[in-house]
């Protein structure tokens, strides 16, 4: 098969990425994005299935006579964030933008599909999985519930995410825990509001809520072992008070992170105990709602070594490293790893704004590195001969 011109491929991926960036779509609304992906995959000669798990797309490419299959995954959804930028390809959808680089992830996986379709160099089957709704942790489950593994079987799966602050062309991963679980909570305090001049006549909830926010910080500092990683963050405090009226209702919302189910269970138990105790001390009632949104992402040790080895074939050897520690962000890719072994990696995005920031933009210089890494993994795991 003819060798693909990489400069041409890079220009194509950049064009695809800009188109996707200009037309962001929220989770399970990625109809235009999915159609864009499906059209490109068909043009490359792949078999394509649409509507998997709602708006997911799966492309299949087979070469040779090998009976093994592996999967590569990219996420497609955007965030409810208003973009702050003046690029010619800035979001044309008010209040929605690709603030996490999923436009770049999609473009890189499309580039890998084209590269492998034209050059081959592997023996077996590759599933190209374009997943919806990663940001709110529902897309992978939806695809799995729609028979992903039964309809498009594969033995292992690989994914990547761009990383601001890591230099372009640099690569990191690690065996074992990589990204944390994410739990969400809402604590509702109910009392009796009243006039701001007469606090003694009611059971206002704002002082109780402020005390509870402080008390929740003792879960990690005093209830978890120092050997365990845990985060409890209060992100919102909402009341029904106004300038001269004390609130009778307060809502405290937030986010917890951990790497072990036992730690998550301890956080929930202690949160309920502290909420009830604080509420009783301030003569109000407390109701706690605690949900588990993301599970920990645990890389397979063997496939982590394989990913590092594949990266060294397309990137400078000193640019490929083992991540020193796991991070407390979360990733829906973890759901696939409960079904098959796999590896999730990080690719440098240079000195861009942080992820989920309204000024963030994926760095197009990373596109070719990602596409070539995807292809290298396939050629290593489905080696000819």
Q: Which residue ranges are tagged as binding site for Mn(2+)?
A: 100, 102, 135, 161, 356
3-class DSSP state of 159: strand
The stretches of 135-232 forming alpha helices (DSSP H) are: 139-145, 148-151, 206-216, 218
Q: β-pairing, 342-348 with 171-173?
A: antiparallel
**How many CB atoms are located within 10 Å of the residue 119 CB?**
15
Cα gap 90→69, rounded to integer Å: 37
Q: Could you give the maximum distance between any two Cα atoms of the chain, in Å? A: 83
Q: Which is it for strands 230-239 and 171-173: parallel, antiparallel or unpaired? A: unpaired
Joined together, the tokens standing for residue 108 give 């890189």
CB atoms within 10 A of CB 262: 11
Nearest to 110 by CA among 377, 383, 382, 368: 368
Q: Chain centroid to CA 34: how far? A: 18
Distance CA 22, CA 24 (A): 6
Residue 333 · residue 73 · CB < 8 Å: yes
Q: In sequence order, what E strands does 304-381 have?
A: 320-322, 342-348
Cα separation, 316 vs 170, in Å, equals 8
CB contact set of 14 (below 8 Å; sequence gap of 6+) = 107, 364, 367
Residue 208: C-alpha distances to residues 3, 196, 248, 301 (Å)? 67, 15, 11, 47
Please tell me the distance from the alpha carbon of residue 219 to that of residue 273, in angstroms, as a whole number.
10
Distance CA 148, CA 71 (A): 11
Please, are residues 297 and 335 in contact by the beta-carbon 8 Å criterion?
no
Residue reference for tokens 């502290």: 274
């Amino acid at each position: 098969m003819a060798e693909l011109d990489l400069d041409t491929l890079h220009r194509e991926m950049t064009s695809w990425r800009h188109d996707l960036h200009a037309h962001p779509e929220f989770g399970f609304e990625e109809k235009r994005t999915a159609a864009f992906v499906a059209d490109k995959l068909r043009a490359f000669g792949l078999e394509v299935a649409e509507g998997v798990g709602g708006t997911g797309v799966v492309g299949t490419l087979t070469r040779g006579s090998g009976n093994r299959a592996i999967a590569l995954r990219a996420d497609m959804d955007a965030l409810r964030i208003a973009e702050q930028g003046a690029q010619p390809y800035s979001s044309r959808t008010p209040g929605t933008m690709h603030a996490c680089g999923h436009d770049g992830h999609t473009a890189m996986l499309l580039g890998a599909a084209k590269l492998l379709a034209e050059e081959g160099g592997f023996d077996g089957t590759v599933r190209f999985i374009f997943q919806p709704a990663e940001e709110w942790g529902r897309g992978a489950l939806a695809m799995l519930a729609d028979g992903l593994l039964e309809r498009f079987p594969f033995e292992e799966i690989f994914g990547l995410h761009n990383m601001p602050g890591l230099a372009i062309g640099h690569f990191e991963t690690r065996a074992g825990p990589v990204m944390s679980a994410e739990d969400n909570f809402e604590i509702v305090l109910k009392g009796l509001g009243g006039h701001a001049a007469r606090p003694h006549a009611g059971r206002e909830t704002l002082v109780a809520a402020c005390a509870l926010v402080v008390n929740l910080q003792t879960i990690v500092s005093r209830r978890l072992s120092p050997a365990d990683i845990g985060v409890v963050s209060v992100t919102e405090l909402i009341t029904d008070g106004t300038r001269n009226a004390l609130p009778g209702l307060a809502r405290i919302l937030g986010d917890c992170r951990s790497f072990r189910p036992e730690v998550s269970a301890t956080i929930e138990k202690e949160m309920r105990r502290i909420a009830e105790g604080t509420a009783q001390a301030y003569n109000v009632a407390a109701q706690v709602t605690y949900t588990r949104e993301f599970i920990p992402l645990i890389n397979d040790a063997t496939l982590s070594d394989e990913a590092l080895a594949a990266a060294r074939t397309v990137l400078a050897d000193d640019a490929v490293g083992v991540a020193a520690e796991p991070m407390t962000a979360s990733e829906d890719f973890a759901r696939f790893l409960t079904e098959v072994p796999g590896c999730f990696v990080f690719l440098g995005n240079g000195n861009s704004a942080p992820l989920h920031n309204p000024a963030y933009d994926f760095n197009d210089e990373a596109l070719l590195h990602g596409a070539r890494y995807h292809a290298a993994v396939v050629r290593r795991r489905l080696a000819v001969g």
